[in-house]
């Protein structure tokens, strides 16, 4: 492993590097070790699943990866930047530019239309509104909602809402897509549709990290990280998918 | 770019407010009422101040009035002898004033007599003024008919008089008074003119009664000794002049300076000349300034009271915004996750508060322009709307919006994104 002080160079394939990352919560007298020394390297274009029971620390890990939270120990490098040392504005900028979130409960803003929801990430980037609108229309079309631009989230089915959320996560062309139980609120048929969409994005070269507690969902990923009590239990490389991944990397 | 994003933030704010039209309207209403109240109170204050100033202006703000008064010691002292009580302003003081005071335009002595006047069977008891030809200029009257006194009238102590319109009407109900002879304390005076009030102001009634005669004639025929007989006692007093009217030259600020300076000099001068407090100096301008000051204090007081309504409205806004922030915790979390900085969240909520309070402010201004008219029509109180009141009230309302919006917005921005996203 490289010297933890030095970040990865931008040209490096290593996108995410966790170096003995800890996240401890102090609750009164007791210290809860939600994450306890996690080492992890994720390369560009990989498709990861983080699996564990509730309380295993997988949501905490995802929040750290998404720069919503900061490690209390260790280092987290995202695209060469050490996230723990950034101030709130800088970390917000990182979220806005490098991260795409997909949540279990979709988290669309209810009073905004599909189009407006899609525009939100670029609103904070001071990007030309005309460009943002065009990109929103393009991505909505890509996820199959080109006809629903003026609908509000509550007028859409769960699967459709999650498609909007995925499109929104792609608006800023992020380094990584983070999906937190993305199919947890969907029926199994819709789940398959969403997973197929994620597969498609992966095949286009997107780096995806998803959190799940379902083994079948985890099997879609190329690498699976098993988390237990805040520690990495094991990392499994799914054989059949690895072939596919190598093919992508060769492209 | 910044301007564009500000505009979009405002549009977003308006949109969010329109999601709860009733709530937004009610919140706005507080500000509307507050702003209207501020404008209305200021207008009522302005009206009151205007009326007070008009009254004083009628006295002539370029005049200084000196009046003889009976000193308090003479008042209480029992009159023991036939020696008359002597006090008050004197003829020579008129000359001294004319010669020593630089900014003085005219100095008009007034000798007021308590005599009755008669023409045939008609008799009146009105003030009889012995004065000079310049009296008209300082007394707020104008000539209606004939001529006023001229300098020669005094020089030769002519028996001529000028009547106030009302007095003329009483003495001459059926004929033209000009050229007729009336009797003042058995002395005959020829009527040469009629004067009357310059306009229909309240002081006009005063100016319509009276008879004016040349001051030298008054002195020559009636002297200075006045004998007043009341039940069981007689009062002898000698007062040369009841009043000296001093008119100051100049315009605007220069005039004000002159009046203040001259009044001070006159005070000094009279202190030297008189060994008892037998005179008063009345400076309408000083009263005017005092009235203005008082009106200003009154106006500020009214304005502050009305501003309380704005503060209460501000608290209402803050309350609603705090509820809104809690209600939209999840949205805040989402926006933070999608890259919003704390500043973005602050400006989003602050803009909503400011939009609310400015909308309320605009409505309030509209209401505040109408309100003074309603007050005037309903109560008869004078209310004057001045555009700067609207500007002031609107500025306060916008300020209230910012002030009471800061805390809710700050609270929204301080939320932990992870916690906010977990909020149900």
Cα angle B421, B422, B424; round to 5: 105
Predicted confidence (pLDDT) at residue A67 exceeds the cutoff of 90: yes
Q: State the pairing for strand pair B233-238/B85-86.
A: parallel
Mean pLDDT in residue range A113-120: 94
* B417 confidence band (pLDDT: 50, 70, 90): very high
CA distances, B356 to each of A64, B293, B309, B317, B320 (Å): 38, 36, 16, 8, 11
Helices H, strands E: what count in chain A? Answer: 8, 10
Instruction: For residue B341, list chain A residues with Cβ-Cβ distance below 8 A.
Output: 88-89, 92-93, 124
Interface check A12 vs B, CB under 8 A: no
Residue-level pLDDT at A9:
47
Cα angle A165, A21, A55; round to 5: 60
Does residue B59 contact residue B243 with C-beta atoms inside 8 Å?
Answer: no
Mean pLDDT in residue range B290-319: 87
Interface check B231 vs A, CB under 8 A: no
Mean pLDDT in residue range A81-95: 92
Nearest to A23 by CA among A198, A167, A231, A221: A231
**Residues of chain B numbered 319-348 and touching chain A (CB < 8 Å):** 330-331, 333-344
Predicted confidence (pLDDT) at residue B122 exceeds the cutoff of 50: yes
Mean pLDDT in residue range B172-192: 90
Q: Nearest residue of B to residue A60 by CA position? A: B418
Instruction: For residue A101, list chain B residues with Cβ-Cβ distance below 8 A.
Output: 337-338
Interface check A124 vs B, CB under 8 A: yes
Mean pLDDT in residue range B244-264: 84
**Distance, CA of A53 to CA of A214 (rounded, Å):** 9
Those residues whose C-beta lies under 8 Å from the C-beta of residue A101, and which sit 6 or more positions away, are A66, A107, A169, A178, A180, B337, B338
- Whether the full predicted model's pTM is greater than 0.95, yes or no, is no
**Distance, CA of A119 to CA of A137 (rounded, Å):** 10
3-state SS class at A185: coil
3-state SS class at A127: coil
Interface check A168 vs B, CB under 8 A: yes
**Are A88 and B1 within 8 A, CB to CB?**
no
Top residue of A57, A124, A167, A178 to mutate, by most chain B CBs within 10 Å, is A124
Instruction: For residue A109, list chain B residues with Cβ-Cβ distance below 8 A.
Output: 331, 334-335
Residue-level pLDDT at A149:
93
Residue-level pLDDT at B371:
85
Question: pLDDT for A230-242, tens place per residue?
Answer: 999 999 888 655 4
Question: pLDDT for B18-29, tens place per residue?
Answer: 888 999 999 999
Order the strands of the A231-237 sheet from edge to edge: A99-102, A176-180, A207-212, A47-51, A223-228, A231-237
For tokens 């040392």, the residue is A85
* B101 confidence band (pLDDT: 50, 70, 90): confident
Instruction: For residue B346, list chain A residues with Cβ-Cβ distance below 8 A.
Output: none
Cα angle A159, A165, A171; round to 5: 140
Mean pLDDT in residue range B212-217: 90
**Are A172 and B339 within 8 A, CB to CB?**
yes
**Are A111 and B337 within 8 A, CB to CB?**
no
**Are B337 and A126 within 8 A, CB to CB?**
no
**Are A121 and B19 within 8 A, CB to CB?**
no
**Are B338 and A109 within 8 A, CB to CB?**
no
**Are B330 and A107 within 8 A, CB to CB?**
yes
**Residues of chain A numbered 230-249 and touching chain B (CB < 8 Å):** none
Predicted confidence (pLDDT) at residue B3 exceeds the cutoff of 70: no
Does residue A106 contact residue A143 with C-beta atoms inside 8 Å?
Answer: no
Question: pLDDT for A25-42, tens place per residue?
Answer: 988 889 989 999 999 999
**Are A124 and B16 within 8 A, CB to CB?**
no
Interface check B19 vs A, CB under 8 A: yes
**Are A111 and B16 within 8 A, CB to CB?**
yes
Q: Nearest residue of B to residue A59 by CA position? A: B418
**Distance, CA of A54 to CA of A58 (rounded, Å):** 8
Better-scored residue on pLDDT, A179 or B277: A179
Does residue A194 contact residue A169 with C-beta atoms inside 8 Å?
Answer: no
CA A95, A96, A101, A103 torsion-angle sign: positive
Mean pLDDT in residue range B330-338: 95
Does residue A168 contact residue B338 with C-beta atoms inside 8 Å?
Answer: yes
**Are B335 and A172 within 8 A, CB to CB?**
no
Interface check B192 vs A, CB under 8 A: no
How many Cβ atoms sit within 10 Å of the Cβ of residue A197?
19
**Are A95 and B341 within 8 A, CB to CB?**
no
Does residue B124 contact residue B263 with C-beta atoms inside 8 Å?
Answer: no
Residue-level pLDDT at A4:
42
Residue-level pLDDT at A244:
52
Mean pLDDT in residue range B188-215: 79
* B81 confidence band (pLDDT: 50, 70, 90): low
Instruction: For residue A129, list chain B residues with Cβ-Cβ distance below 8 A.
Output: 4, 8
Maximum C-alpha span of chain A:
55
Interface check A72 vs B, CB under 8 A: no
**Are A121 and B338 within 8 A, CB to CB?**
yes
Question: pLDDT for B360-384, tens place per residue?
Answer: 999 999 999 888 888 888 888 888 8
Instruction: For residue B417, list chain A residues with Cβ-Cβ distance below 8 A.
Output: 68-69
Q: State the pairing for strand pair A207-212/A47-51.
A: parallel
**Are B338 and A66 within 8 A, CB to CB?**
no
Mean pLDDT in residue range A53-59: 88
Mapped to the 3 state alphabet, what secondary structure does chain B carry? CHHHHHHHHHHHHHHHHHCCHHHHHHHHHHHHHHHHHHHHHHHHHHHHHHHHHHHHHHCCCCEEEEEECCCHHHHHCCCCCCCCEECCECHHHHHHHHHHCCCEEEEEEEEEECCCEEECCEEECCCEEEECCCHHHHCCEEEEEECCCCHHHHHCCCCEEEEEHHHHHHHCCCCCCCCCEEEECCEEEEEEEEEEECCCCCCHHHHCCCEEEEHHHHHHHHCCEEEEEECCEEEEEECCECEEEEEECCCHHHHHHHHHHHHHHHHHHHHHHCCCCCEEEECHHHHHHHHHHHHHHHHHHHHHHHHHHHHHHHHHHHHHHHHHHHHCHHHHHHHHHCCCCHHHHHHHHHHHHHHHHHHHHHHHHHHHHHHHHHHHHHHCCCCCCCHHHHHHHHHHHHHHHHHHHHHHHHHHHHCCHHHHHHCC
**Distance, CA of B103 to CA of B270 (rounded, Å):** 17
CA distances, B259 to each of A222, B60, B262, B367 (Å): 98, 11, 5, 42
**Are B337 and A172 within 8 A, CB to CB?**
no
Nearest to B351 by CA among B10, B18, B20: B10
Interface check A97 vs B, CB under 8 A: yes
Interface check A121 vs B, CB under 8 A: yes
**Distance, CA of A9 to CA of A24 (rounded, Å):** 29
Nearest to A177 by CA among A121, A219, A133: A121
Residue-level pLDDT at B411:
95
Residue-level pLDDT at B283:
87
The CA-based dihedral angle spanning residues B8, B11, B17, B18, taken in that order and rounded to the nearest 10 degrees = -140
CA A182, A186, A189, A190 torsion-angle sign: negative
CA A61, A63, A67, A72 torsion-angle sign: negative
* A3 confidence band (pLDDT: 50, 70, 90): very low
Does residue B279 contact residue B67 with C-beta atoms inside 8 Å?
Answer: yes
Mean pLDDT in residue range B309-331: 92
* B53 confidence band (pLDDT: 50, 70, 90): confident
- What does the mean pLDDT of chain B come to? 86
Share of chain B above pLDDT 90, in %: 29
**Residue A212 main-chain phi, psi, to 5 deg:** -155, 160
Which DSSP helix (H) or strand (E) runs through A17? strand A14-27
ipTM metric = 0.90
* B1 confidence band (pLDDT: 50, 70, 90): very low
**Distance, CA of B14 to CA of B29 (rounded, Å):** 16
Residue-level pLDDT at B318:
94
Mean pLDDT in residue range B147-157: 88
**Are A101 and B338 within 8 A, CB to CB?**
yes
CA distances, B234 to each of A144, B77, B111, B148, B185 (Å): 117, 14, 21, 36, 19
**Interface contacts A/B by beta carbons within 8 Å:** 65
Cα angle A223, A225, A231; round to 5: 160
Predicted confidence (pLDDT) at residue A247 exceeds the cutoff of 80: no
Q: Nearest residue of B to residue A94 by CA position? A: B339
Better-scored residue on pLDDT, B345 or B249: B345
Q: Which residues pair with B193 in a beta bridge?
A: B146, B162
CA B108, B114, B118, B124 torsion-angle sign: positive
Predicted confidence (pLDDT) at residue B289 exceeds the cutoff of 90: no
Does residue B343 contact residue A89 with C-beta atoms inside 8 Å?
Answer: yes
Provide the token pair at A151.
């609908």
Interface check A87 vs B, CB under 8 A: no
Residue-level pLDDT at B415:
94
**Distance, CA of B291 to CA of B49 (rounded, Å):** 7
How many Cβ atoms sit within 10 Å of the Cβ of residue B69?
16
Mean pLDDT in residue range A136-164: 93
CA distances, B114 to each of B218, B263, B350 (Å): 11, 29, 76
Provide the token pair at B130.
């012995």
Residue-level pLDDT at B381:
81
């Amino acid at each position: 492993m490289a010297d933890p002080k030095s970040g990865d160079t931008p040209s490096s394939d290593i996108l995410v590097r966790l170096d003995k990352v800890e996240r401890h919560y102090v609750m009164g007298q007791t210290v809860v070790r939600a994450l306890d020394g996690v080492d992890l390297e994720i390369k560009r274009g990989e498709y990861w699943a983080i699996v564990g029971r509730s309380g295993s620390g997988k949501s905490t890990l995802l929040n750290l990866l998404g720069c919503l939270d900061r490690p209390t120990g260790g280092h987290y490098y995202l695209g060469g930047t050490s996230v723990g040392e950034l101030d709130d504005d800088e970390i917000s900028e990182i979220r806005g530019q490098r991260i795409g979130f997909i949540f279990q409960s979709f988290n669309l803003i209810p009073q905004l239309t599909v189009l407006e929801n899609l525009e939100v990430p670029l609103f904070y980037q001071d990007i030309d509104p005309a460009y943002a609108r065009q990109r929103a229309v393009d991505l909505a079309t890509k996820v199959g909602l080109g006809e629903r631009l003026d609908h509000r989230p509550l007028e859409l089915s769960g699967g459709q809402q999650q498609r909007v959320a995925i499109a929104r996560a792609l608006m800023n062309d992020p380094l990584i897509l983070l999906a937190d139980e993305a199919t947890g609120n969907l029926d199994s048929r819709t789940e398959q549709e969403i997973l197929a969409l994620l597969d498609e994005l992966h095949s286009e070269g997107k780096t995806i990290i998803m959190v799940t507690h379902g083994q079948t969902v985890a099997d879609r990923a190329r690498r699976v990280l098993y988390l237990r009590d805040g520690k990495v239990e094991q990392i499994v490389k799914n054989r059949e998918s690895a072939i596919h991944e190598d093919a992508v990397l060769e492209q | 770019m910044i301007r564009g994003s500000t505009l979009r933030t405002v549009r977003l704010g308006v949109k969010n407010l329109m999601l709860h039209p009733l709530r937004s309207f009610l919140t706005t209403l507080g500000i509307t009422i507050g702003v209207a109240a501020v404008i209305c109170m200021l207008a009522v204050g302005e009206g009151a101040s205007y009326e007070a100033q008009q009254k004083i202006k009628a006295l002539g703000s370029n005049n200084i009035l000196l009046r003889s008064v009976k000193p308090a010691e003479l008042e209480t002292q029992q009159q023991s002898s036939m020696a008359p009580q002597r006090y008050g302003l004197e003829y020579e003081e008129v000359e001294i004033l004319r010669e020593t005071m630089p900014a003085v335009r005219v100095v008009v002595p007034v000798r007021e007599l308590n005599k009755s006047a008669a023409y045939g069977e008609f008799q009146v008891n009105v003030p009889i003024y012995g004065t000079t030809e310049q009296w008209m200029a300082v007394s707020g009257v104008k000539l209606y008919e004939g001529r006023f006194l001229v300098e020669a009238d005094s020089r030769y102590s002519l028996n001529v008089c000028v009547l106030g319109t009302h007095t003329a009407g009483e003495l001459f109900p059926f004929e033209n008074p000009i050229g007729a002879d009336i009797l003042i304390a058995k002395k005959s005076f020829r009527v040469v003119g009629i004067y009357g009030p310059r306009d229909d102001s309240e002081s006009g009634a005063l100016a319509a009664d009276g008879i004016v005669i040349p001051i030298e004639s008054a002195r020559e025929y009636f002297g200075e000794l006045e004998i007043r007989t009341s039940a069981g006692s007689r009062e002898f007093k000698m007062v040369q002049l009841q009043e000296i009217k001093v008119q100051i030259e100049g315009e605007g600020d220069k005039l004000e300076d002159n009046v203040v300076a001259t009044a001070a000099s006159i005070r000094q001068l009279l202190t030297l000349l008189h060994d008892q407090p037998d005179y008063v100096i009345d400076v309408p301008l000083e009263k005017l300034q005092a009235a203005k000051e008082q009106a200003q204090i009154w106006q500020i007081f009214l304005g502050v009271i009305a501003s309380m309504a704005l503060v209460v409205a501000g608290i209402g806004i803050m309350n609603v915004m705090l509820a809104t922030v809690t209600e939209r915790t999840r949205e805040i979390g989402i926006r933070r996750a999608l890259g919003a900085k704390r500043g973005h969240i602050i400006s989003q909520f602050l803009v909503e508060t400011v939009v609310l309070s400015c909308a309320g402010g605009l409505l309030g201004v509209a209401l505040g322009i109408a309100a003074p008219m309603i007050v005037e029509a309903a109560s008869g109180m004078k209310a004057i709307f001045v555009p700067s009141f609207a500007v002031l009230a609107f500025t306060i309302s916008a300020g209230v919006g910012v002030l009471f919006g800061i805390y809710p917005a700050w609270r929204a921005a301080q939320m932990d994104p992870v916690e906010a996203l977990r909020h149900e």
